[in-house]
Amino acid sequence: MSGETIGARHGLFGATGSGDTSGYGRMIAQINLPGSTQRPFGDYFDEVADLLAAGLNAHGVAFDDAVENVVIYRGEMTIHVRRTHLRAVASTLRDEPSLRFELCLGVSGVHYPDETGRELHAVYPLRSITHNREVRLETTAPDDDPRLPSLFRIYPTTDWHERETYDFFGLVFEGHPSLTRIEMPDDWEGHPQRKDYPLGGIPVEYKGATVAPPDQRRSYN
């Protein structure tokens, strides 16, 4: 399984120009994503992939058109799905009797600003209560077109989770019945959990000097 390097973190906190002499500013850690896994996957993962392929094919969708790759990492299965086929994959995983992933445990947003054309990720952990199995769906959208199909009609539990992911990351879930902010005020500008969101802060006057907000004093990556 070959991985993919999508960026690097510099320093323990990413501090630059701060006069820090601790040496942490020289730490460089690559940001690696696990690559596609080749068969056999092991455990129940091969069966899930085969059943999903058969279910999609029965509805006129080719597995390779819907699924970019499958990653088995640390004993967990992630199915990377093209956003245009997200609903078809989710419906198949839920409805096929041999799959029966009845429960979606939420939606998590991720922002990789250096992954050009795939900056925004949405991750959906699914559980089959019937078969006591778990898989994860992951799909992506570019910064300049942050639209994903809502899974609300398939998994109603995603209602508030999609609103939260929209609120914090700016992903627009098309078809959601009420895609409004859920944590931040309605008139808030920006999406606070994106990597490019400024830290902010309140300027403080101290003995005649002005201390700038944190994001103007040092950079966190």
Give the pLDDT confidence of 205-219 residue by residue, as tens digits.
656 666 666 666 554
Q: Which CATH class is domain 35-217?
A: alpha beta
Q: What are the beta bridge partners of residue 204?
A: 211
- Mean pLDDT of all residues in 173-179: 96
Domains of the chain by residue range: 35-217
- What pLDDT is stored for residue 217 in this prediction? 57
C-alpha 81 chain-centroid distance: 12
- Mean pLDDT of all residues in 138-148: 97
Distance of alpha carbon 168 from alpha carbon 186, whole angstroms:
12
User: What are the φ and ψ backbone dihedral angles of 140, each rounded to 5 degrees?
Assistant: -135, 160
74 pLDDT more than 80: yes
Question: How does residue 14 score in pLDDT terms, banded at 50, 70 and 90?
Answer: very low
- What pLDDT is stored for residue 197 in this prediction? 87
Alpha-helical segments (H) within the chain:
45-58, 63-66, 86-95, 158-169, 214-217
Please report the DSSP string for 96-136 in residue order: -TTT---EE---EEEE-TTSTT--EEEEEEEEETTTTEEEE
86 contacts 138 by C-beta, under 8 angstroms: no
Task: Provide the greatest CA pair distance for the chain.
Answer: 73
What does the mean pLDDT of the chain come to?
87
18 pLDDT more than 60: no
